């Protein structure tokens, strides 16, 4: 039976911690990006504020908060205000079902390292991210500006299109683990072959699915090479052209929070979650899984940034053709083959 | 415990709103959305009955309704776009050539 | 007043409010957003009934795909506010009374003659595994038929929405 | 029933041939068509021979059940086949003669258009005829019965571009329809009273009747109705008129369908139903009278005909009359015996006549023939065998069977000296007109026109010089049939013995007993009289057409009106036209067409359309084109439906 403490107090504490950690992570992902891209482009990136520019995110935040909040006169105001809220809300909510490690015991309570463990956790994430489209689309429409509208149209079409490939690439993993619960999916990836190769899904034949997921995730989060909705050279800044100050910052946060969610999901589904070599004293053993998890997420984010620094942008028709004519059939083929192999094995 | 009839009444209200929307709205897209509203009302009663009779087929039916709604939305919106291209209006009162 | 009833009433009220807002709003995008609200709160109602898979699919398919299409089309056609045109007396004189009559009868029957059953929270867990089993065994034929249906719908949508002048232009280029 | 004989294979084989040739034959070469058709009918014949070799009287009848057909309450009809001694004889005759005529047709039809069509029809006919013969119940027999009618119609009208052929086909079909009507009513009566159409069951129920006279009225009506059917199919008075016209078909068709097989179906049916007739002596008497009258009547017409095929046609009718006479005096095995020998010699005569026609280039009129003996020696020899056989000259086949019938007609308890006397006169006439044909065709001088004698009647028109012998493919079947005509009669006694299990019980047995016990002297006396009559016929024909060729014309003028009546076939066709056809056409035109169709049906249809249009004119304003109006109507209608259903439910 749920006690009051476990039902209310622990989740509240966890929510607060999670939001804090997430926002910090967002801020430092931005820092990481600027640093890495800077180095890729043979620059230094932020260096002035704090050591290695580590306090730069804080400075940015303060700047956004104190800037004047301009609302252009021609916008459709209710939605203009609602759009960034929707975007950031969806981005922050989806983290709630993501586990970052096994349950730990504090003060005699069994506390899972996750806000809530639903047995349809994966579906919840997919649902919330699919609703996240509205933030972008409504921002583009309510701004009442042609650049915003085009950006919004592009974003919604692109996100709806790539969501299919994304979802299909996950089905292979679901077949292997037999559950929607992220805890169980990670549990299904424990162990290793010959003590060398871990039984991560990416090594269980889902490597194609992983790359499909990677590609679709870039499109879902509007990142290079699929950042058509905010393509500076064509659309000024796309759907958030008319936004400034904190509303713009909310879009910014939503984008990076989404990146982190996607990275977490990739870690959980393909890279074995928090599984990794466990050694050392008990206290280290308790911390190591979480550390492995963060390491993998950071690695995934690094790939994100690396790709941004490397690849050029697609043309819009190329983007659509790639999604529908290449990625979708590939995802279906992967699904069919996985299903066949599993069926033949059993 | 919630009486089954509450769910059914809620579903009935949604359905009635759908019909009313179909009857009084002029914008063809809104009319189309009213249809979706009706379908949603029906879905609710399916799920409620599934829970009441302890049989999952009600929920299965919801999936079929959703698929049909998706198909309908795809074709319907394509028709709306085609109508808009030829008639340059979304008002159904002005799209009335199908008569003697 | 138990938790289930409270949650039911709260989200039911949101549902009805959204539905009425759909009717009242004159701009289609507001109607669309109201409908999304209705769908989201319906998803919660499904969760209350234990149909968690249906709830998730409701959000993903209805809110995440179908309504995005609606919003997309509204944006694409740049649909403005609804015009007030007196098109049909019949709809008002016959349809609305008919609708009211029908719903009154149904409501009366529901409340007077069949209000015996009641459902508890999470009454029937819609486990994805069971649903999948049903869908791919007992309902395999309907499932396949619907897949054909949706394939045809896709092709129909492509044909309908493709610009008719596209072909003539193609011929000119040749 | 110890062994499965797979009887169903026999009819199926020609059906396959017909299907292949009929559906695909247009693209085949003539050789392919021939190969398929001959393979089909030859395989059927081979199968029939195999079945005959497996046949043992002890375990007869054999039954092959194929599939259920109709299951309605207690009433069952199956697709099942039945083989006893009677059907075995018929089976061998049909497949054997049929196969020979197939071979003959290859030569005869080689130059014709629609070659594949002809063989498809021919195979189709074989299929239906075998179904008829092998059926285990009356309904399946009826299928075969109708089917042979169809094939006959198709083949008579084979040259359908020729008006007379098309008309002859229709005439045959419609006349048969009248007979079939009687047959059908007989079937209905059987179903009504015995609840079955299966031979075994029906005959068992009839045999179980308590006394000889029980149900005699019903059985008499059934027998008479069956006789109506048989009269239609076997061209007996009064339904014989179609057979002479049927000679419009190609000659092999005349040989196969209108002489050897199909027209004998009536005899087969009467013999098959002998149980019914045994209990209905008055029906049997009617059969005998009709047979006797037909025999005489057709023979008199045959005397005056000049068309070689018409002579043979009337001769066929007359011989069929003999067979019915035999059945009518309950001498079924004698009838079947004559059926078999008749199949041999009449098939032979028709084929030989075809060969003659072929030789002179399509002309059928005997007055323009003559002296063909030296041109077509093989045809002459075989035709001589056939002529002597039919005329009843011993020891050829016809003599034995005909003498058997005459003897039975006299000696049977059902028989009488009147039958015998008329039969004897008919035998004399038969001998006369057959020798008349023989003399006119083969002796004397050739009177035809060498250069222009082609394409007159048979549309068999390819250029001819002098009359010439037919190819081997036509002569060989002739030779085989001639052999059978000569020696086929010698099995008479054994055939009778062989068939006796089928006809055991009832009147037939009594007939046999009387036949066996009568004094040999009487029998030999009758035999002598028959021979004498046959020789007399030959002598008179010789006298009139060989010695004194001017005599026939003088006799004809001497007889005056009577001769004219005979030449014009007693004006029966004209009589039927005046009595039945014209009133029917007039009535249909006046009442059915002008009053019923134009007055009632057309007007009601037009009025219905008019009122529909007026009503729609009023209602169409509902269709305003406004979507929301439609939605309003739908909502109101749905509310009405809901209200109604809930009212029903609450009530």
B57 contacts in chain C (CB < 8 Å): 134, 138-139
Question: Which pLDDT band holds residue D517 (cuts at 50, 70, 90)?
Answer: low
Who has greater pLDDT, A13 or D77? Answer: D77
Who has greater pLDDT, B32 or C110? Answer: B32
Share of residues in chain D with pLDDT > 90 (%) = 23
pLDDT(B84) > 50: yes
pLDDT(A283) > 80: no
pLDDT(D548) > 70: yes
Residues 21-80 of B with CB under 8 A from C: 21, 23-27, 29-30, 32-34, 36-37, 40, 43-44, 47-48, 50-52, 54-57, 59-60, 62-64, 66-75, 77-80
Mean pLDDT of all residues belonging to chain D: 85
pLDDT(D82) > 50: yes
A71-75, B10-14, B52-56, D512-516, range with the lowest pLDDT? D512-516
- Planar angle of CA C5, C9, C15, nearest 5 degrees: 140
Please indicate whether, in this complex, the C-beta atoms of D624 and B22 are within 8 angstroms of each other. Answer: no
User: Do A114 and A183 contact (CB within 8 A), yes or no?
Assistant: yes
Whole-angstrom Cα distance, residue D399 to residue D530?
A: 8
Question: Which pLDDT band holds residue A235 (cuts at 50, 70, 90)?
Answer: confident
Give the pLDDT mean for A35-54: 82
Sorted by sequence, the CB contacts under 8 Å of residue D122 that are 6+ apart come out as D37, D41, D101, D102, D105, D151, D155, D252, D253, D256
Distance from CA of C115 to the nearest CA of B (A): 5
Distance from CA of D620 to the nearest CA of C (A): 15
Parallel, antiparallel, or unpaired for β A101-106 and A109-113? antiparallel
Structure tokens at D556: 């004809």
pTM: 0.56
A124 contacts in chain C (CB < 8 Å): 56
- Planar angle of CA D565, D567, D571, nearest 5 degrees: 50
Measuring CA to CA, which residue among D631, D627, D629 is closest to residue D639?
D631
Give the pLDDT mean for D593-611: 89
User: Do D487 and D341 contact (CB within 8 A), yes or no?
Assistant: no
Q: Give the model confidence (pLDDT) of D476-487 as tens digits.
A: 888 998 988 888
Q: Between B and D, how many CB-CB pairs are < 8 A?
A: 31
Question: DSSP string spanning D230-287?
Answer: HHHHTT-TTSTTHHHHGGGS-HHHHHIIIIISGGGHHHHHHHHTHHHHHT-HHHHHHH
Whole-angstrom Cα distance, residue C104 to residue D499?
A: 87
Nearest residue of chain C to residue A164 (CA atoms): C65
In this prediction, residue A174 carries a pLDDT of 84
Question: Which pLDDT band holds residue B94 (cuts at 50, 70, 90)?
Answer: confident
In this prediction, residue C113 carries a pLDDT of 64
Q: In chain D, how many H helices and how many E strands?
A: 28, 2
Give the domain ranges of chain C. 1-83+118-126, 127-165
In this prediction, residue C164 carries a pLDDT of 65
Share of residues in chain B with pLDDT > 70 (%) = 96
C1-83+118-126: which CATH topology? 1.20.120
pLDDT(A285) > 80: no
Q: Give the model confidence (pLDDT) of B49-73 as tens digits.
A: 888 888 888 888 888 898 888 888 8
Distance from CA of C172 to the nearest CA of D (A): 37
In this prediction, residue A311 carries a pLDDT of 84
pLDDT(D123) > 90: yes
Share of residues in chain D with pLDDT > 70 (%) = 94
Q: Which spans in A202-315 are helix H?
A: 207-220, 232-235, 245-269, 282-310
A169-178, D112-121, D225-234, range with the lowest pLDDT? A169-178
User: Do D164 and D214 contact (CB within 8 A), yes or no?
Assistant: no
B4-94: which CATH topology? Helix Hairpins (1.10.287)
Please indicate whether, in this complex, the C-beta atoms of C113 and D637 are within 8 angstroms of each other. Answer: no
Please indicate whether, in this complex, the C-beta atoms of D623 and B23 are within 8 angstroms of each other. Answer: no
In this prediction, residue C115 carries a pLDDT of 54
User: Do C98 and D628 contact (CB within 8 A), yes or no?
Assistant: no
Question: Which pLDDT band holds residue D462 (cuts at 50, 70, 90)?
Answer: very low
In this prediction, residue A310 carries a pLDDT of 85
- Planar angle of CA A96, A99, A103, nearest 5 degrees: 120
Burial (CB < 10 A; 0-12, 13-18, 19+), residue C150, is middle
Mutate to test the interface with B, among D613, D620, D626, D629 (most CBs of B within 10 A): D626
Whole-angstrom Cα distance, residue A173 to residue A178?
A: 8
Q: Give the model confidence (pLDDT) of D424-436 as tens digits.
A: 999 999 998 998 8
pLDDT(A17) > 70: yes
C4 contacts in chain B (CB < 8 Å): 1-2
Contacts 24+ apart (CB under 8 A), B68-72: B68/C146, B68/C149, B69/B36, B69/B39, B69/C62, B69/C66, B70/C61, B70/C65, B70/C66, B70/C150, B70/C153, B71/C149, B71/C150, B71/C152, B71/C153, B72/B35, B72/C153
What are the backbone angles phi and psi of residue C119, rounded to the nearest 5°?
-120, 145
Give the domain ranges of chain B. 4-94
Give the pLDDT mean for D633-649: 85
Q: Give the model confidence (pLDDT) of D142-182 as tens digits.
A: 999 999 999 999 999 898 888 888 899 999 998 998 899 99
Give the pLDDT mean for D49-68: 83
Q: Between C and D, how many CB-CB pairs are < 8 A?
A: 60
Whole-angstrom Cα distance, residue A298 to residue A33?
A: 11
In this prediction, residue D1 carries a pLDDT of 43
Question: Which pLDDT band holds residue C123 (cuts at 50, 70, 90)?
Answer: low
Whole-angstrom Cα distance, residue D344 to residue D540?
A: 26
Structure tokens at D206: 């009839």
pLDDT(D561) > 90: no
Question: DSSP string spanning chain C?
Answer: --HHHHHHHHHHHHHHHHHHHHHH--SHHHHHHHHHHHHHHHHHHHHHTT-HHHHHHIIIIIIIIIHHHHHHHHHHHT--PPP-----HHIIIIIHHHHHHHHHHHHHHHHHHSTT-EE-TT-S---HHHHHHIIIIITHHHHHHHHHHHHHHHHHHHHHHS-THHHHHHHHH-
Whole-angstrom Cα distance, residue D294 to residue D297?
A: 5
In this prediction, residue A199 carries a pLDDT of 73
In this prediction, residue A48 carries a pLDDT of 81
Sorted by sequence, the CB contacts under 8 Å of residue D120 that are 6+ apart come out as D17, D18, D21, D22, D25, D37
Share of residues in chain A with pLDDT > 90 (%) = 0
Question: Which pLDDT band holds residue D456 (cuts at 50, 70, 90)?
Answer: very low
To which residue do tokens 């190769």 refer? A197
Question: Which pLDDT band holds residue D508 (cuts at 50, 70, 90)?
Answer: low
In this prediction, residue D453 carries a pLDDT of 42
For this complex, say whether ipTM is above 0.85: no
pLDDT(A132) > 50: yes
In this prediction, residue A109 carries a pLDDT of 64
């Amino acid at each position: 039976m749920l006690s009051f403490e476990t039902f209310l107090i622990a989740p509240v504490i966890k929510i607060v911690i999670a939001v804090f950690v997430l926002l910090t992570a967002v801020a430092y992902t931005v820092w990481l990006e600027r640093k890495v891209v800077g180095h890729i482009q043979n620059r230094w990136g932020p260096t002035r504020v704090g050591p290695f520019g580590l306090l730069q995110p804080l400075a940015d935040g303060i700047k956004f908060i104190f800037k004047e909040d301009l609302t252009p006169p021609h916008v459709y105001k209710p939605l203009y205000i609602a759009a960034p809220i929707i975007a950031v809300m969806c981005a922050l909510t989806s983290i709630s079902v993501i586990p970052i490690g096994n349950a730990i015991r504090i003060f005699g309570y069994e506390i899972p390292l996750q806000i809530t463990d639903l047995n349809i956790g994966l579906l919840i994430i997919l649902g919330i991210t699919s609703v996240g489209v509205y933030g972008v689309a409504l921002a583009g429409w309510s701004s009442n500006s042609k650049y915003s509208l085009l950006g919004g149209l592009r974003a919604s079409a692109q996100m709806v299109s790539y969501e299919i490939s994304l979802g299909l690439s996950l089905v292979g993993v679901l077949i292997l683990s037999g559950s929607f619960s992220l805890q169980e999916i990670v549990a299904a990836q424990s162990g290793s072959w010959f003590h060398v190769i871990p039984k991560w899904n990416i090594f269980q034949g889902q490597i194609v699915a992983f790359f499909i997921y990677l590609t679709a995730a870039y499109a879902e989060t509007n990142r290079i090479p699929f950042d058509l909705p905010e393509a500076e050279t064509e659309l000024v800044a796309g759907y958030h052209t008319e936004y400034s100050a904190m509303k713009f910052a909310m879009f910014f946060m939503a984008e990076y929070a989404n990146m982190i969610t996607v990275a977490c999901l990739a870690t959980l589904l393909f890279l074995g979650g928090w599984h990794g070599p466990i050694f050392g004293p008990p206290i280290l053993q308790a911390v190591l899984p979480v550390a492995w998890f963060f390491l993998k997420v950071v690695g995934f984010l690094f790939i994100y940034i690396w790709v941004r620094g490397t690849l050029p942008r697609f043309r819009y028709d190329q983007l659509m053709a790639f999604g529908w004519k290449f990625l979708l059939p590939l995802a279906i083929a992967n699904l069919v083959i996985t299903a066949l192999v599993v069926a033949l094995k059993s | 415990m919630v009486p089954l009839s509450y769910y059914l009444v809620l579903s009935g209200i949604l359905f009635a709103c759908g019909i009313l929307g179909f009857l009084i709205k002029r914008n063809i897209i809104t009319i189309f959305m009213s249809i979706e509203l009706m379908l949603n009302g029906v879905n609710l009663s399916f799920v409620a009955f599934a829970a009441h009779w302890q049989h999952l087929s009600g929920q299965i039916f919801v999936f079929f309704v959703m698929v049909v709604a998706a198909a309908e939305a795809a074709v319907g919106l394509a028709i709306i776009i085609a109508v808009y291209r030829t008639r340059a209006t979304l008002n159904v009162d002005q799209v009335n050539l199908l008569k003697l | 007043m138990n938790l289930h009833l409270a949650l039911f009433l709260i989200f039911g009220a949101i549902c009805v409010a959204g539905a009425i807002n759909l009717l009242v709003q004159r701009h289609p995008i507001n109607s669309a957003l109201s409908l999304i609200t209705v769908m989201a709160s319906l998803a919660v109602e499904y969760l209350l009934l234990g149909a968690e898979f249906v709830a998730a699919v409701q959000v993903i398919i209805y809110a995440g795909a179908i309504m995005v299409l609606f919003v997309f089309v509204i944006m694409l056609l740049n649909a403005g506010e609804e015009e007030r045109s007196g098109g049909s007396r019949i709809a008002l004189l016959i349809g609305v009374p008919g609708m009211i009559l029908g719903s009154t009868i149904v409501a009366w029957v529901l409340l007077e003659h069949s209000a015996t059953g009641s459902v508890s929270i999470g009454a029937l867990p819609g486990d994805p595994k069971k649903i999948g089993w049903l869908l791919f065994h007992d309902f395999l034929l309907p499932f396949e038929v619907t897949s054909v249906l949706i394939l045809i719908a896709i092709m129909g949508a492509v044909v309908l929405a493709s610009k008719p002048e596209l072909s003539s232009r193609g011929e000119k280029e040749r | 029933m110890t062994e499965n004989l797979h009887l169903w294979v026999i009819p199926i084989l020609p059906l396959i041939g017909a299907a292949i040739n009929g559906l695909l034959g247009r693209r085949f070469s003539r050789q392919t068509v021939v190969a398929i058709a001959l393979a089909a009918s030859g395989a059927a014949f081979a199968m029939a021979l195999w079945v005959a070799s497996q046949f043992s009287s002890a375990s007869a009848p054999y039954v092959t059940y194929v599939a259920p057909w109709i299951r309605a309450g207690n009433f069952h009809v199956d697709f099942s086949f039945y083989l006893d001694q009677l059907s075995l004889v018929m089976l061998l005759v049909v497949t054997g003669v049929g196969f020979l005529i197939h071979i003959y047709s290859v030569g005869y039809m080689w130059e014709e258009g629609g070659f594949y069509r002809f063989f498809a029809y021919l195979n189709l006919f074989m299929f239906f005829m075998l179904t008829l013969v092998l059926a285990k119940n009356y309904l399946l027999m009826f299928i075969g019965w109708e089917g042979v009618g169809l094939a006959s119609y198709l083949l008579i009208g084979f040259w359908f571009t020729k008006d007379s052929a098309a008309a002859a086909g229709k005439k045959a079909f419609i006349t048969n329809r009248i007979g079939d009507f009687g047959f059908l009513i007989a079937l209905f009566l059987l179903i009504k009273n015995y609840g079955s159409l299966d031979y075994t069951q029906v005959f068992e129920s009839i045999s179980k009747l308590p006394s000889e006279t029980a149900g005699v009225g019903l059985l008499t009506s059934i027998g008479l109705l069956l006789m109506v059917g048989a009269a239609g199919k076997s061209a007996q008075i009064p339904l014989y008129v179609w057979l002479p016209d049927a000679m419009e078909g190609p000659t092999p068709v005349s040989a196969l369908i209108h002489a050897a097989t199909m027209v004998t179906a009536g005899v087969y049916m009467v013999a098959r139903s002998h149980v019914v007739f045994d209990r209905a002596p008055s029906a049997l008497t009617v059969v005998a009278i009709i047979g006797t009258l037909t025999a005489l009547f057709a023979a008199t017409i045959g005397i005056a005909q000049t068309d070689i095929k018409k002579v043979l046609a009337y001769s066929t009718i007359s011989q069929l009359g003999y067979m019915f006479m035999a059945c009518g005096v309950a001498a079924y095995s004698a009838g079947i015996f004559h059926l078999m020998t008749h199949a041999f010699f009449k098939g032979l005569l028709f084929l030989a006549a075809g060969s003659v026609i072929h030789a002179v280039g399509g002309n059928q009129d005997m007055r323009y023939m003559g002296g063909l003996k030296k041109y077509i020696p093989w045809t002459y020899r075989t035709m001589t065998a056939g002529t002597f056989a039919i005329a009843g000259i011993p020891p050829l086949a016809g003599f034995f069977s005909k003498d058997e019938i005459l003897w039975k007609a006299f000696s049977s308890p059902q028989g009488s000296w009147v039958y015998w006397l008329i039969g004897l006169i008919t035998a004399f006439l038969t001998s006369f007109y057959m020798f008349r044909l023989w003399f006119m065709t083969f002796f004397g001088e050739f009177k035809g026109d060498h250069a222009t004698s082609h394409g007159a009647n048979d549309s068999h028109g390819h250029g001819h010089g002098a009359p010439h012998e037919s190819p081997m493919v036509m002569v060989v079947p002739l030779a085989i049939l001639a052999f059978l005509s000569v020696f086929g009669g010698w099995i008479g006694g054994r055939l009778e013995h062989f068939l006796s299990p089928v006809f055991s019980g009832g009147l037939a047995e009594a007939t046999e007993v009387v036949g066996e016990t009568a004094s040999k002297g009487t029998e030999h006396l009758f035999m002598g009289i028959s021979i004498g009559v046959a020789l007399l016929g030959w002598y008179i024909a010789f006298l009139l057409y060989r010695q004194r060729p001017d005599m026939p014309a003088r006799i004809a003028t001497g007889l005056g009106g009577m001769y004219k009546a005979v030449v014009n076939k007693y004006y029966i066709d004209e009589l039927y036209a005046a009595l039945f056809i014209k009133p029917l056409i007039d009535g249909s035109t006046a009442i059915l067409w002008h009053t019923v169709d134009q007055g009632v049906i057309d007007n009601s249809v037009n009025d219905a359309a008019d009122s529909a249009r007026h009503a729609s004119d009023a209602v169409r304003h509902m269709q305003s084109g406004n979507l929301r109006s439609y939605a309003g109507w739908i909502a109101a209608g749905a509310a009405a439906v809901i209200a109604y259903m809930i009212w029903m439910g609450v009530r």
